[in-house]
A = this chain, B = another copy of it.
Amino acid sequence: MIRFYNGKILTLADGFDIAEDEVWVDKDKISFVGEPTADILDSQRFEREIDLEGNLLMPSFKDAHTHSAMTFLRSYADDMPLQDWLTKQVFPMEAKLTGEHIYAFTKLAILEYLSSGITASFDMYFKLDDYVRANIDAGFRTVICSSTNDFGGSPEQDEEDFLKFNNTSPLISYKFGCHAEYTTKLETIKGIAKLCQKFKEPFYSHNSETEREVLECISRYNKTPTELFDDLGLYEYGGGGFHCVYLSENDMNIFKEKGLWAITNPGSNTKLASGVADISKMLDMGINIAIGTDGAASNNALDMFREMYLVTGLQKIKYMDASSCPANDVLYMATAGSAKAMGLDDCDVIEKGKQADLVVIDLNKPNMQPVHNITKNIVFSGSKQNVKLTMCAGKILYHNGVFYLDETEQDIYKRANEMLKDF
């Protein structure tokens, strides 16, 4: 059992109050939250006691949309228009990816997640056996979203993957989805709808990332992507959309009614000049919102602190209103919100019996001082520098700048750089 003591605890289980409690972790779960009596404390045997030194323990961040292995394209092509970027730079490079590449570049992404306090990814990519191996080897949690589209994947393969990866490891789960409407034939999408209904499962996809995507969908089907998916019955058991920059009023009503998750990616939408999602409106409507980084090729960082600042900042600019999209709402989106969006209902908050997916925020850094308001400090001023410890499923994977994985970070960097020669 691991004991965290002498710190501040933000459970997020019931608002944003911070208590000076203890948290104990037994194997992969939280076993105690509160102020232990001397008796209870004496009766425990801890394998490790971590003095928080006044720092903050809180639920870890979850990255609700990413393509981990795309670290191989970080700063490979930037400052270019979206279409050129995709067709001239990204697609030809991706065609050369082997399973070993996927393994190596996913490992690199996991290092970055951990250094940003992220303990789970909602990932959409390919060569899933190698991808899964990288996560299990690292001890990192991931939810795979099927990326089925006209260039790869099929409902049959998805069903096989669903049954296989949901029974591989407690760290791995699998959700149905397709890459996007614009990359996937209607017949294939209908096949996925049958799967969602057969297994009573939610559906996820890229959705309304660009205006062009929505306009083309309307010209094909006389419906927005959200309307199309909804009419096909894909959202009968919930799900969500990645990006959601160009949702219509009716789309938002569907999101609200079906309890879908709008998973926003402001870093990527900014850098690729896709636009600004209407988060404030969705917040007002009570739509579920989660946050993802998208892949490192488009962002270029897997940094939840940057994303949180952009989520709130871009709404303030969009509405020319400094009170738009308050900080605490954003902190919730990046932690409990993202966990729920990914189906990780046992990883959302700090509570007895929940998974021990935790982060320690270093308050003893100049950007967290003075201490007027800790949660606002995190959203408006926080950075990767403030991540002191990252724990996934009860295991400390990052602490005081040191990674505890199955291989060293230097080995991961070296292999990733050597592999660049293959492209």
Within 8 A of B (CB), among A49-95: 71-76, 78-82, 85
Nearest-neighbor residue (CB-CB) of A296 within chain B:
B381
Whether A108 and B384, one on each chain, are in contact in the complex, defined by CB atoms closer than 8 angstroms, is: no
Stretch at the interface among A197-205, A223-231, A299-307, A344-352: A299-307
Point out the residues of chain B lying under 8 angstroms from A410, CB to CB. 364
Q: Is A370 an interface residue (CB 8 A)?
A: yes
Nearest Cβ on chain B to A419's Cβ, whole angstroms: 8
Nearest-neighbor residue (CB-CB) of A387 within chain B:
B385
The proximity string for A residues 401-413 relative to B, scoring 1 for CB distances below 8 Å and 0 otherwise, is: 1000000011001
> Which one, B270, B372, B385, contacts A313 given CB within 8 A?
B270
Q: Is A420 an interface residue (CB 8 A)?
A: yes
Nearest-neighbor residue (CB-CB) of A266 within chain B:
B313
Point out the residues of chain B lying under 8 angstroms from A299, CB to CB. 380-381
Whether A273 and B71, one on each chain, are in contact in the complex, defined by CB atoms closer than 8 angstroms, is: no
Nearest Cβ on chain B to A374's Cβ, whole angstroms: 8
Whether A370 and B327, one on each chain, are in contact in the complex, defined by CB atoms closer than 8 angstroms, is: no
Contact status of A82 and B322, CB under 8 A, knowing A112-B366, A317-B276: yes
Instruction: Give complex CA distance A380, B299 in Å.
Output: 7
Whether A75 and B377, one on each chain, are in contact in the complex, defined by CB atoms closer than 8 angstroms, is: yes
Q: Is A186 an interface residue (CB 8 A)?
A: no
Whether A71 and B369, one on each chain, are in contact in the complex, defined by CB atoms closer than 8 angstroms, is: yes
Nearest Cβ on chain B to A115's Cβ, whole angstroms: 6
The proximity string for A residues 373-404 relative to B, scoring 1 for CB distances below 8 Å and 0 otherwise, is: 10011001111110000000000000001000
Q: Is A321 an interface residue (CB 8 A)?
A: yes
Whether B380 and A115, one on each chain, are in contact in the complex, defined by CB atoms closer than 8 angstroms, is: no
Instruction: Give complex CA distance A336, B79 in Å.
Output: 21
> Which one, B302, B370, B380, contacts A420 given CB within 8 A?
B370
With a 10 A CB-CB cut-off, give which of A75, A276, A327, A371 has the most chain B CB atoms. A75
Instruction: Give complex CA distance A413, B363 in Å.
Output: 10
> Which one, B75, B81, B417, contacts A381 given CB within 8 A?
B75
Whether A316 and B380, one on each chain, are in contact in the complex, defined by CB atoms closer than 8 angstroms, is: no
Point out the residues of chain B lying under 8 angstroms from A302, CB to CB. 366-367
Oligomeric state, in copies: 2
Nearest Cβ on chain B to A50's Cβ, whole angstroms: 19
Instruction: Give complex CA distance A4, B72 in Å.
Output: 30
> Which one, B115, B300, B383, B419, contacts A365 given CB within 8 A?
B115
Whether A327 and B364, one on each chain, are in contact in the complex, defined by CB atoms closer than 8 angstroms, is: no
Whether A367 and B303, one on each chain, are in contact in the complex, defined by CB atoms closer than 8 angstroms, is: yes
> Which one, B317, B370, B376, B413, contacts A369 given CB within 8 A?
B413
Whether B81 and A300, one on each chain, are in contact in the complex, defined by CB atoms closer than 8 angstroms, is: no
Point out the residues of chain B lying under 8 angstroms from A74, CB to CB. 369-370, 372, 377, 380-381
Q: Is A353 an interface residue (CB 8 A)?
A: no
Contact status of A115 and B317, CB under 8 A, knowing A273-B324, A301-B380: no
Within 8 A of B (CB), among A191-240: none
Q: Is A272 an interface residue (CB 8 A)?
A: yes
Contact status of A326 and B372, CB under 8 A, knowing A115-B365, A300-B377, A317-B270: no
Q: Is A259 an interface residue (CB 8 A)?
A: no
Instruction: Give complex CA distance A303, B365 in Å.
Output: 13
Q: Is A256 an interface residue (CB 8 A)?
A: no
Q: List 28 A-B contacts (CB under 8 A).
A: A71-B366, A71-B370, A72-B370, A74-B369, A74-B370, A75-B377, A76-B373, A78-B327, A79-B322, A80-B322, A80-B323, A82-B322, A85-B322, A108-B370, A270-B316, A271-B380, A273-B316, A299-B380, A300-B377, A303-B367, A303-B381, A364-B409, A366-B413, A367-B384, A369-B413, A369-B416, A383-B384, A384-B385
